[in-house]
Structure 1
Amino acid sequence: MNQSSLHVLAFGAHPDDVEIGMAGTLAKLHNEGLKTGICDLTLADLSSNGTVDIRKKEADAAAEILGSTIRVNLGIPDRGIRLDNEQISKVVTVIRTYKPKLIFIPYQIDRHPDHGWCARLVEEAVFSSAIKNYRDTENLPSHRADAVYYYFINGFHKPDFCVDISETITQKIASLKAYASQFSKADSDRVETPLTNGYIETVEARERMMGKEVGVIYAEGFKTARPLLLDSHGLGVNQ
């Protein structure tokens, strides 16, 4: 593996999206010695609470908690994610730079339109990244990721597979609490949003429920873009 390569690269529309959906998995993979990274598409410049500078600091703190090798931000306007050549090229450059084996993106069915747009944009970039003659912003060599998986942000969906995060749930909660501007209870100087009313507790309850579905304490659920191919080990068959 190239020194700059990652095993896993997770994309989110805003800083904190990846943490909500799969912080426990990222921490678990890091603890197992794998290299992980996060790419935020926007600076969340339209956030009701906090500022761009505050959210940058919070995002860096959360990434450190999770052991992420890199965290980059593409500076796409908040609520301005679109399927145009400029944005696709930016995402392709990130994919080709870090050459991830696995890419994670938000599940498209979500109350926030940006999360669906993020998924669609990265899907386009994943395809273009593998095309030899496609030119990104840096004219980098093509790269084909092994697989794309979808994580959940808002809502509770039936997963195609789960990851046991019982040992890293504390890191997940800590990474979410790093975003004090978003998840702290609203006071007189802040706007009340869905995130300021027990959102972290809701996420924790979801992961506990997901864990109950697969027989562990806590789990994060994921959807697949295509069927999984399993061997006897993956099927849980032991000799």
Structure 2
Amino acid sequence: MKVDILAIGVHPDDIELGCAGTIINEIKNGKTVAIVDLTQGELGTRGTAETRYTEAAEAAKIMGVVARENLKMRDGFFTNDEAHKLQLIQAIRKYRPEIVLGNILNDRHPDHGRAGHLISDAFFLSGLSKIVTTDEAGNEQEKWRPKYFLQYIQDWYHEPDILLDISDVFEQKMQAIQAYGTQFHTSAADSESGQQTYISTPDFIESIVARARMLGKRIGVKYAEGFLSEKKIGIKSLDALVLRET
């Protein structure tokens, strides 16, 4: 399955929080997007691995992605070793994306940064022909290196290299986030009387909205998402720039 964009998140809901607006925008523009979750989020205080699968499927439906799968790495304890790199290389070669969206390299949750480095390494190694992987049917996969790995901003603020206007789809992004009723401040989560966590407070959701507004203000729009890129991004002409009156 060849897609335009592959979004990778270490926990189900990372992608929704970090880049759902961009995914929805690109799908509306005719792009195909698939999602790979590295873990089942089984260490989360609220909910279970089973509820996270249900919530992730609902969020995927809201965003409109063509596929979503879970690599079932061990939440909290996966490592950036050969076995995990090969597992992720196999997924990259399966979907053959032009762009990968993935976790930031340094963040409050140690899984985020560790996953970011794992994604970065697999992104590069996937393009080496002497690294052999096979698909589900046992057939050898062809090498594939996407053009860009863009890291979405998570809990800690990082100065973005790219800002994307998500104003037209922001409400849809928030619907995808709220699909995780066990995790965030929704009536469903409140009714479960689960233990309060960092992300289940009303303040957390308010901070997501506030950041989108702040990033949007930087480019003269209502809401935006930001990304970092290890690779410099070039353009062929100034026609690629969108000029806005402020």
> Please, which of 5, 9, 13 is the counterpart of residue 10 of structure 2?
13
Structure 2 residue 201 is the aligned partner of structure 1 residue 197: yes
Kindly provide the CA deviation profile for residues 144-203 of structure 1, in whole angstroms up to 9, marking residues without a partner as x.
101111101113221111110000001110000000000035567311111111222210
Contact in 2 for aligned 1:89/1:137 (Cα 8 Å): no
Which deviates further from its counterpart, 139-148 or 171-180?
A: 139-148
Q: Equivalents in 2 of 1:201, 1:38: separation in Å?
A: 25
Structure 2 residue 156 is the aligned partner of structure 1 residue 150: no
Q: Equivalents in 2 of 1:214, 1:108: separation in Å?
A: 24
Runs of 4+ in 1 over 4 A off after TM superposition: 185-188
Percent of matched pairs sharing the same residue: 34
Structure 2 residue 30 is the aligned partner of structure 1 residue 24: no
Structure 2 residue 238 is the aligned partner of structure 1 residue 232: yes
Match of 2:167 in 1: 166
Q: Equivalents in 2 of 1:79, 1:37: separation in Å?
A: 24
- Whichever residue aligns with residue 25 of structure 1, its letter is T
Q: Equivalents in 2 of 1:164, 1:189: separation in Å?
A: 36
Structure 2 residue 68 is the aligned partner of structure 1 residue 62: no
Q: State the 1:137 CA deviation.
A: 4.6
Q: State the 1:236 CA deviation.
A: 3.9
Match of 2:215 in 1: 210
Which blocks of at least 5 consecutive residues in structure 1 are unaligned? none
Match of 1:183 in 2: 184
3-state secondary structure, aligned to 1:167: helix
Kindly provide the CA deviation profile for residues 14-46 of structure 1, in whole angstroms up to 9, marking residues without a partner as x.
000011000000000011110011110000111
Q: Equivalents in 2 of 1:122, 1:137: separation in Å?
A: 19
Contact in 2 for aligned 1:160/1:224 (Cα 8 Å): yes
Q: Equivalents in 2 of 1:136, 1:114: separation in Å?
A: 25
Q: Equivalents in 2 of 1:213, 1:99: separation in Å?
A: 33
Structure 2 residue 86 is the aligned partner of structure 1 residue 83: no
Contact in 1 for aligned 2:88/2:119 (Cα 8 Å): yes
TM-score by length of 2: 0.92
3-state secondary structure, aligned to 2:72: strand
- Whichever residue aligns with residue 175 of structure 1, its letter is A
TM-score by length of 1: 0.94
Q: Equivalents in 1 of 2:192, 2:31: separation in Å?
A: 43
Match of 2:101 in 1: 104
| Root mean square deviation of aligned Cα | 1.5
Q: Equivalents in 2 of 1:146, 1:159: separation in Å?
A: 18
- Number of aligned pairs? 235
Q: Equivalents in 1 of 2:24, 2:242: separation in Å?
A: 24
